[in-house]
Structure 1
């Protein structure tokens, strides 16, 4: 029998706060990764619903972070990691079983600092609703300037060396520090690469997400990040964003038909994935 330690390794951090009802699926997806040694750390902020019992059952290392800022919890966990590749995922999302093999292999082959892929979106019960195609690597700066980064955090891994160089996630932000991290990576000339083909991860949509409950505060933070890091978008940047929207027309149509079918009535949502920002995938915390 082959030793998994001989294969590629990655560390994953999961921030939790009363996540017992969904955490099992997330942990199962990480423990089921093929040919990858996945080191998992759960950083909890005072759960009272059995979250820590779930971690004990899975023999998962747990740390504590004061409640109030998910990115503080993520930083606490990631600073404990010594693998070359890092990632984090919310406690109600999951990865497909071949995702990390594909992401790391692609990242190593291209000598990338950040690898991202395609994300599926599901309803609160895990039923598939739609996907979207992220922008190409050479479109990311233009997309960022217009306010939409277009990368789903669940599908993204990054090098430990980049995390250290950028000094982690900026805890000044409560809702959009992941957006700030990726945009600072773009500014620092980090190498991004996109993994084509099958979807990498699932993002579960529900009303308790910070991106649903605190959407106005999220917009304020995103605007501040944009103003701080980039100049105003040009006509070229807006053209790139329009091109991206056009490339996703099939996904918009699928979203319309799938959501309408599941709800039993015609359903139209304003954004690409039902109200949340593509660049900030924060859950209740």
Structure 2
């Protein structure tokens, strides 16, 4: 079973070397690595050239990049990895084992942990652990090729919530399983101002996703998992306070992004 990893990039030089090195270090003997770049100017392409089997240029956003990578890959399984992620060496092997043992399973979740620099990165690390096993938050990353083709790939109209959208369509088409190995997400140094701006940018697509999925999207935003383990939150009151600040900042950014989207739509309609 050949496994293709598709990695969309844009100015990803800080994290890309570690990401791609982890893909090439997989214990599985038949791995393909494709980087689909979108006009990087920071050395991303040079780093990709040292590791990837194919380095492609495509845009305008990451959903289109992932679809192009799927089209150009040749694996029986396609796995979508972000450029700031590092995989444990056995991930690809575990993917093959799961698909071989579960022929009715068409896609797999790879659980995530995070790491980074500073206090807010520690808050995010705690948050990610609370989400493990929560289907409202986790989305599949590994797909049998026939399944990703059948569900139509990534929605190129979305640049945020695109993973939720794909997960929604995948659940209607096949069974989703899990891999007993981890992705480690490099958060770097989290800054509230940057987080706010990023969420405001993504808010326009969040609004679009909500409009497309009015009946089922609510659970994606009310992160019940944060309340299911109160003992853990109480054991770490300082981290919990930091996490609350982080989530409020994100919520404010998303709210403004959604408002911007609706204001723009209203102006066009007028």
Indicate whether the TM-score tops 0.5: yes
CA distance in 2, matches of 1:157, 1:23: 20
Unaligned runs of at least 5 residues, structure 1: 1-7, 141-148, 261-265, 277-285
In structure 1, the partner of 2:132 is 134
CA distance in 2, matches of 1:193, 1:176: 20
Residues 269 and 121 (structure 1), Cα distance of their counterparts in 2 relative to 1, 3 Å cut: farther
2:183 matches 1:185:
no
CA distance in 2, matches of 1:191, 1:31: 28
2:206 matches 1:219:
yes
Equivalent of 1:101 in 73, 80, 93: 93
In structure 1, the partner of 2:30 is 37
Contact 1:13 1:77 in 2 (8 A): yes
Contact 1:10 1:36 in 2 (8 A): no
Deviation at 1:194, TM superposition (A): 2.5
Contact 1:44 1:62 in 2 (8 A): yes
CA distance in 2, matches of 1:271, 1:43: 31
Contact 1:117 1:134 in 2 (8 A): no
Q: Which of the two has greater helix per residue?
A: 2
- SS of the aligned residue for 1:104 comes to helix
- Superposed counterparts of 1:69-88, under 5 Å: 69-88=61-80
Deviation at 1:13, TM superposition (A): 0.9
Residues 232 and 31 (structure 1), Cα distance of their counterparts in 2 relative to 1, 3 Å cut: closer
- SS of the aligned residue for 2:3 comes to strand
Moved segments of 4+, more than 6 Å: none
2:4 matches 1:11:
yes
Contact 1:123 1:204 in 2 (8 A): yes
Residues 158 and 24 (structure 1), Cα distance of their counterparts in 2 relative to 1, 3 Å cut: same
CA distance in 1, matches of 2:23, 2:236: 27
CA RMSD of superposed structures (Å): 3.4
- SS of the aligned residue for 1:123 comes to strand
Residues 35 and 250 (structure 1), Cα distance of their counterparts in 2 relative to 1, 3 Å cut: farther
Contact 2:139 2:164 in 1 (8 A): no
Deviation at 1:66, TM superposition (A): 2.9
Residues 270 and 191 (structure 1), Cα distance of their counterparts in 2 relative to 1, 3 Å cut: farther
Residues 40 and 172 (structure 1), Cα distance of their counterparts in 2 relative to 1, 3 Å cut: same
CA distance in 2, matches of 1:218, 1:250: 35
Residues 77 and 267 (structure 1), Cα distance of their counterparts in 2 relative to 1, 3 Å cut: same
Deviation at 1:101, TM superposition (A): 1.3
Residues 82 and 255 (structure 1), Cα distance of their counterparts in 2 relative to 1, 3 Å cut: farther
Deviation at 1:20, TM superposition (A): 1.5
- SS of the aligned residue for 2:8 comes to strand
Deviation at 1:184, TM superposition (A): 0.8
Deviation at 1:104, TM superposition (A): 2.5
Equivalent of 2:142 in 157, 164, 176: 157
